[in-house]
Chains A and B, each alone.
Chain A
Amino acid sequence: MDSRAQPQRAWLQAPPRERRIARISTLFEEQAVARALGYGPRSGREIPHHVASAVLDVRRQAQTLVDPKSCWLAVSAEVTRDELKLCEPYSCTLGVGNLVAAQMRGCDVAVFFVVTIGDELERVSREMMADGDALEGYILDALGSVAVEACAERLADEVLREVMPLGWQVTNRFSPGYCTWATSEQRLLFDVLGGSPAGVSLTPSGLMHPLKSISGVIGVGASAKFHPYPCAFCGREDCHQRLVDASVTTLG
């Protein structure tokens, strides 16, 4: 019998991990912020000095406006052609679509997660816009997007650190709304995580509140593979993520 089977089982029985994310200042990585505003190597334009100085000012404020939290839960799962069938005690099926299912093939575990930076930054950004400080409001919103992405990356790293000693690897993270995974499945994901994970809730139309939140799944298993260019296995030309990273080409 594999000596890792018992620690794997014990790991899978852990309750949802809710955490407050620390080291807030590191959530606003300079290059990522420039990219979010349209600048950087992809566009061939450096951020102009007057925009850069506005970013510095707003960034100082942004650090005081975020309350980053995460929640994740590992569940035994079976991957079919386009679904994730969760084992006891969840016993439900998520229609993740064929593209996500293909990337999770061979995984025995699905890690469902939610991260958020809270709603204060969003509120202040909206206020700035309404008060005529459109540039500052726009930069603050972009900083929020960068921060919540960084939180999701931080969570994925945490999962990887936990599963590697158990003999497992991880896939990329996938979110409802991307790679043909319908956003209507969001509610099931939240049900698995217990309703309002990390203080994030769903509106009647299925939107996350606060808006600056990311939900999704990470596949875990001995043969799980991380793909450095996730857009390469999806053919959707009009996808927002693809437009953001226009340098990625489609395979087939």
Chain B
Amino acid sequence: MTEIFENIQRCIETGKADASLDIPRGSAGKPGVAEFVDQALAEGISATEILQKGMLPGMKAVGKRFAAHEIFIPEVLISARAMHAGFAVLKPAFAQEDVPSQGTFVIGTVAGDLHDIGKNLVAIILEGAGWKVVDLGTDCAPEKFAAAVVEHPGCIVGLSALLTTTMINMPAAIAAIRAVAPSTRVLVGGAPVTADYAKEVGADGYAVDPMGALAALENMAA
């Protein structure tokens, strides 16, 4: 049983989503995440176990390699795509099992800011790691974050800003969130945001990149 988990993990790490992909080079026709997950289900392994022992360790290994600058965002996205391929196969089994969700993460770019590439990357990586992501889009007024917190009780909120001129809108968003749900944990990130700034505005966490966001959420959820 361990071997199939190792195969799933290895394929997540290399980004081998399915047999049709030639990643790594020369592997076209060989099984990828989708095929190994399918095989695991056929062997009677539960979706939860496949997720916990094969897929999530794979994405965790990707995070470690990213943090060590061994791989970069494009390779992380290729691994995230492999995760999604695994989830697609697991989906029917998830419907039958009572699979515990990683949690809900509401994310948006703060008011005045139209940049969304960083926010989108965070959303994609977190979805790949099993989080339910609610993407509010760009230029989000504080009230929009507050409404989302009411709609998704217990969620963690991520605020993104790319500019010094727009990151100053983070405190108003945090205040609006805490006004309707005082215990809501907030993660902030974006090019001009620093750990010091996160503390200053009363955020619970700060992430420098998408994998940092995943690590921060895992710490918060632990």
Query: What is the CB-to-nearest-CB distance from A4 to chain B, in angstroms, rounded to a whole number?
Result: 40
Task: Tell me the B28-60 residues at the A interface (CB within 8 Å).
Answer: none
B1-29 near A? 1/0 per residue, CB < 8 Å: 00000000000000100000011110000
A138 touches B73 (CB 8 A): yes
Task: Point out the residue from A38, A137, A209 that lies within 8 Å of B120, measured CB to CB.
Answer: A137
Using known A-B contacts A37-B72, A207-B112, A207-B113, determine if residue A184 contacts B165 with beta carbons closer than 8 Å: yes
A203 touches B124 (CB 8 A): no
Residues on A with beta carbons closer than 8 Å to the beta carbon of B115: 211
**Chain A: CB-nearest residue to B21:** A50
A84-125 near B? 1/0 per residue, CB < 8 Å: 000000000000000000000000000000000000000001
Task: Point out the residue from A43, A141, A206 that lies within 8 Å of B117, measured CB to CB.
Answer: A141
B121 touches A38 (CB 8 A): no
Size of interface on B: residues with Cβ below 8 Å to A: 33
B166: Cβ under 8 A from any A Cβ: yes
Per the bound structure, the CA–CA distance linking A223 and B120 in Å amounts to: 46
A135: Cβ under 8 A from any B Cβ: yes
- Stretch touching chain A among B76-84, B94-102, B211-219: B76-84
Interface size class of A (residues with CB under 8 A): 20 to 34
- A residues lining the B interface (CB < 8 Å): 37-39, 43, 45, 48-51, 54, 125-126, 129, 132, 134-135, 137-139, 141, 177, 183-184, 203-207, 209, 211, 238, 240
- B residues lining the A interface (CB < 8 Å): 15, 22-25, 69-70, 72-75, 77-78, 80-81, 84, 111-117, 120-121, 124, 163-166, 191-192, 194
